[in-house]
Amino acid sequence: MPSRLYPEDQKRVDEYLASPIHQVKRKPFRVWLLLAVIVGSVIGLGLIARFLAALVHI
């Protein structure tokens, strides 16, 4: 898709995005860690809900 900016404006945008402050080093995305956190959270909240339900029925 062609840019809708004028060429001199596009050049300024490209220079701005190429500056070192906009190039952050990041760790690689770890999908298995995210999945473990989500599953752990769901199990933990489920256990808390069961515990609270048991307290209500006493």
Structure tokens at 27: 């760790």
pTM metric for this prediction: 0.57
Ordered per-residue pLDDT tens for the chain, 58 residues: 677 889 999 999 999 988 888 788 889 999 999 999 999 999 999 999 999 999 998 6
Classify residue 1: in a domain, yes or no: no
- pLDDT of amino acid 21: 82
Classify residue 14: in a domain, yes or no: yes
- pLDDT of amino acid 1: 66
Range of the domain at 29: 7-56
- pLDDT of amino acid 57: 83
d(CA 33, CA 27): 13
Classify residue 44: in a domain, yes or no: yes
How far CA 41 is from CA of 21, 24, 36, 48, 51, in Å, comes to: 35, 29, 8, 10, 15
Classify residue 17: in a domain, yes or no: yes
Classify residue 2: in a domain, yes or no: no
